[in-house]
Structure formats: C-alpha cells, structure tokens
Amino acid sequence: MEFVDLKLSQILQDNITSLGYTKPTPIQEQSLPPILKGQDVAGLAQTGTGKTAAFLVPLIERILRTEAFIQNPGNEALQEFNERVIADWKPNQFFLVLLPTRELAEQVLENFTKLVNNMPIRGVSIYGGTGYEKQIDALKKGVQFIFATPGRLIDLYKEHLVDLKQARGVVFDEADRMFDMGFKDDMKYILQRLPNDRQFMVFSATLNLEVLNTAYQFGSNPVEINISRDQTSAENVKDYLFHVGEEEKPQHLLSLLKKYNPKQAIIFTNFKHNVERVAQFLSQNDFPAIAISSLLTQAQRTRVISQFKETNNINIMVATDIAARGLDIQGVDLVINFELPNDCETYVHRIGRTGRASSLGTALSLCCDKDVESLSRIEDYLKRKVDVQYLEDSELIKEFKEYKEQRDFRGSRERDGKFTKDGKGGRRDSRDQRYSGDRKGGGSSSQERNRYQGVKNKDQGKHQTENKNHSKFSKHSGEAKHYNKPNSTGSVGGTNSKPKVEGKYKVQQHGSSAKVRTHKVSGAQDRLNTRLTKSAGLGSKIVNFFQKLFK
C-alpha cells in the first residue's frame, strides 16, 4: 500500500510526497482508514514508527474534504468521500491533541506545519512554562488544531478562552506517559467536558490497560490496532550491554564515544543533577556536549534542542527521561544509558530515540552492581537477554580529566532533587530519616540524640528540683529531712501523728523515718518553697564559714 492509494486531497498528497514519504508505516497503514471514516482508534506501536502522522494525516484530510463539501455540496465527484466529511462542521471547531510534555507539543506542531503547507489550516501549541499572550492571540484568530499539555489547557478553559464543547475529536498521544506523569485526573476532567459525539484516538508505545479502560468509560469503542504485540523494541535498534564498575563508567563513556564516533548521540542519566556534570565532564575531555533536564526553563530547553538539531560541533546531548519520549531527531545514531532506568518501559523509549524512520541505530548501556535489578526487569519485559559486549584494553582511554560525582553528606546518590539511601530515587522512608545513623559518628542522628537528651535532662532536673526542695536523702540511711512548716509539736509527724498536708504535698509516717509521697505541685507554693530553701541553705553556709574562720 502507498499513500496515493488512499486518494487523499491533492494538496495533502503533494506535501506528503515533498517530505519524501511514499509508503505508510504499519501503524499508519492500519490507522488511516478507520480514522478517515470517523471511527475511534487505539493504536499501539513501537516508538519511532510514525504514530504522529497516523492521526495528523487523516484528520487534516477530513477537514479538507469537509471544507470542499461545504463549498460545493452538489459536486458529484466528491460523493465517494462523503464518509470523510465531518457532519455539521463549524468554523470555530477544532481537533484537540493532548500530549505529556512541552517538547512533544512543539514537535507535533512542527510536523503539522509541514503537512499543512499552503493550506488554510492553522494550529497552536499550548503548554505551561511560557507566556499566555501568543497562545491566546492564536486562539482568538481561530485554529483547527490545538496541541496542548493538560495543565495549561485546563487553565485556559477555566478562563473561558477555550471552549471544549467545540472539539470534534481528541487525540491522546503518548497516553501511557500521560498516566505515568499523573495526568489521569486531568484527562478525565477534559473528557467529561467534550461532546459525546467526538472522535476518540489514543496512541502509545506500550500497552496500558488503564488508558483503554478510560476510553471505554467515556463511551468510546475504539478499533484496537497493535503493531508491536510480539515486539517491545524497535527492530532498527541494536542494543548492547557493558558490565562495568560504577567508578569505571566515565572512562567507558569516553571510550565508547571514541569507538562509535556518532553523528549525534544522546546520553541518558537517571539523575537530573548529574546531567550538567556529565555534560561538563564530556566537554572537558574534548567531546562537546549540552544538557537538558527539568532544571532548565522552557526557553532554555527549546534552545538546547534547537542547538542539538543544528549541524555544528556539538553533537552530544545529555538528558534525563524528559527527552526519552516523543522527541523525533532523525540524525541520532547512538544512545548511551549512563544508568539503566528503573522502569522497563522507559528503556524502550530511551533506545527508541535512535533508529527512527527506518534508519539504523545503536543503544549501549553501562551496567554496574546498582543496575542489576533494573536489568532483570528490563530483560523480563523484553523477553530476551540484552547482548553483552566488552571493550578491549587497547580501546579504553587511559588519560582523561576526572569525573566528579556529587554526593550528599551521607554518601547517598542524588535523584530528581531528593537524596536517597539506595540511589534508586523516591522519597526516603520516615524511619530512615528519624533513625538513620550519622555515618561519621555512628548511632542515632545528632538531632535525635539532642532531642532525646534534652527531654531526659529536663525530666531529671524536675525530679532533682522536687527532691531538693522538699527532702534531702542520706546516702547511707535513706532518711529524709523535711523543710516543710513543722506542726504544733515542732516535729514533722510523730508516732501517733496523722499525715500532714502542706499545699499539695502529703507527708506520711513510716516507722521512725518519714518519707515523701509527691502529688500535684502548686506552682506558686513550689516557687516559694524553692526560694526559702535556697535562702536557708545559703545562710547556713555563711554561718558555718565564719565559725570555722574564727574557731
């Protein structure tokens, strides 16, 4: 099958031909006919197989046929394309394409612009991290396509700048990634506000039953297309594994770049704070590199991607998984995983940045003891072992400037701005935070020790004050001498005396010795007794001093 067999509008066919495409990819071949008929579609295919064009081409064609029908409703030559016409299409209506990242929104808009060249069809990308003005101006002028991230779209909807009731169709691109990033509630919020008769399309590289359940929940009945049922990674990519020690990774990274000498390469790291350090390490060793992560502003990220796409001496980009999904950079022929991702599906998306559009690509992964668990999950998901390779000693670069990896005061690795004990990311368990040992001093943390010692001292001080104020105990006899007000006989208690209560203190006789049982203390009485006791004690010391002096 070729594109000309679909009998697309001539202007669209010309643009497709000018872009160098003659035969649709498998996902395009199976998705185009049902979408052209207005059916719902759920497409599952490997990354880099043309899923974007699988929904853009048929939706653009539907609008072209609808406009032609509106202008010439009686034209018999158009009758065979009636199933492509959108019923009751209005000038202010549009197709909505939802995407997980700003970069993907810009990329899809770029592909869209090429396809609608010389057509009266406009689109706009809507995402956060940038100003509202240009996006609002484009919406006011009228667009047929909106490419949006959920958050900014909802903001504009609440400001009554986007009317979701005017959407005639919705596309969820990289839908599994949207669920992974926490957009599930936003997706449902948007679906609840779309017309019931809208066309529904969802495309993904990995199967996500929750995505399909959401589609069915909102009344869709999509045609399910699974191109990658028995294949989890792109057939154009050869991936290899290198078992190395963690401290050997920098040396192997330099050596692999020298050996493969890529035209364009992407280095993936799990930790966003490592991105700049890896890029700096490469640049200092004569491999010019740039870095991209969520630490950059949107303007900076856009500039980095543009710089990477240009033909210059900077052909290496160090990235977190922010660049693992959706980015379509045709020239990338090498991907290196500095660390293996924890998520097996992320591995597929990472290596899918190369080998795109039928070109061949290579993906290399550096695996140390900390990556072993991730490797096991990845191989279980791939249902195969990743081929292992080794570098000969002669292939290793021996002299290079050192790579300095930042660690926190506990020696823990850093991931996504959070310090973790095991280097796997995520929030530390509260028990680790409360009871983890100080590696230099051992035992509990100093903060916990100080807090515990403070409570202990406070309790001890309280008991000591009570004992000092109301009784002095002999080390040998255990007898108590009391400083409370004596009774009428001049003694504290006696053989036949009843317990005496002074304020809140009860003194009770036990044989020849009097012991104190303490109850609740009256604050004022306690302070008074303390002052009297201190005064009496000081006076006795002074008298004793002068007696000894003049004796």
Give residue 374's domain range.
237-400
163 shares a domain with 97: yes
- Phi and psi angles of residue 267, each rounded to the nearest 5 degrees, phi first: -105, 120
282 shares a domain with 195: no
- CATH code (residue 98): 3.40.50.300
311 shares a domain with 185: no
* Residue 175 located in a structural domain: yes
Predicted TM-score (pTM) above 0.85: no
* Residue 449 located in a structural domain: no
285 shares a domain with 199: no
Residue in the block written with tokens 């609740």: 520
Among candidate residues 186, 203, 226, the one where a domain is terminated: 226
- Hey, is 143 helix, strand or coil? coil
351 shares a domain with 287: yes
Provide, rounded to the nearest whole percent, the portion of the chain with pLDDT above 70.
70
* Residue 158 located in a structural domain: yes
* Residue 78 located in a structural domain: yes
Integer Cα distance of 99 and 90 in angstroms: 25
Residue in the block written with tokens 């993936």: 268
296 shares a domain with 200: no
51 shares a domain with 88: yes
295 shares a domain with 246: yes
Integer Cα distance of 509 and 514 in angstroms: 5
* Residue 418 located in a structural domain: no
* Residue 241 located in a structural domain: yes
Selection from 289, 290, 294, 349 nearest residue 324 by Cα: 349
Q: Please say whether the beta carbons of 98 and 153 come within 8 A.
A: yes
Integer Cα distance of 428 and 419 in angstroms: 8
* Residue 340 located in a structural domain: yes
* Residue 477 located in a structural domain: no
The enclosing H or E element of 229 equals none
Q: What is the pLDDT of residues 142-159, one digit of tens each?
A: 999 999 999 999 999 999
Among candidate residues 226, 255, 281, the one where a domain is terminated: 226
Contacting residues for 467 by C-beta, under 8 A, at least 6 apart: 473
DSSP string of 186-211? HHHHHHTTS-TT-EEEEEESS--HHH
249 shares a domain with 199: no
Integer Cα distance of 543 and 310 in angstroms: 96
Burial letters 354-372, b for 16+ CB under 10 A, else e: bbbeeeebbbbbbbbeebe
Integer Cα distance of 199 and 212 in angstroms: 15
391 shares a domain with 281: yes
158 shares a domain with 263: no
Contacting residues for 247 by C-beta, under 8 A, at least 6 apart: none
**Residue-wise pLDDT tens for the chain (551 aa)?**
899 999 999 999 999 999 988 899 889 999 999 999 999 998 888 767 788 999 999 999 999 999 998 888 777 767 778 899 999 999 899 999 999 888 889 989 999 999 999 999 999 999 988 889 999 999 999 999 999 999 999 999 999 999 999 999 999 988 877 877 778 889 889 999 999 899 999 988 776 677 777 778 887 888 988 886 545 556 688 999 999 999 999 999 999 999 999 999 999 999 888 999 999 999 999 999 999 887 887 778 878 888 888 877 788 999 988 765 556 677 889 999 999 998 887 888 888 888 876 678 899 999 999 999 999 999 988 888 999 999 999 999 999 998 876 553 333 344 443 333 333 333 333 333 333 333 333 333 334 434 434 444 444 454 444 444 444 443 443 444 444 444 444 444 444 444 444 444 444 444 444 444 444 444 555 555 555 555 556 666 666 666 666 65
Residue in the block written with tokens 């003005």: 133
Provide, rounded to the nearest whole percent, the portion of the chain with pLDDT above 90.
41
Integer Cα distance of 471 and 363 in angstroms: 81
- When divided into structural domains, the chain yields a total of 2
389 shares a domain with 307: yes
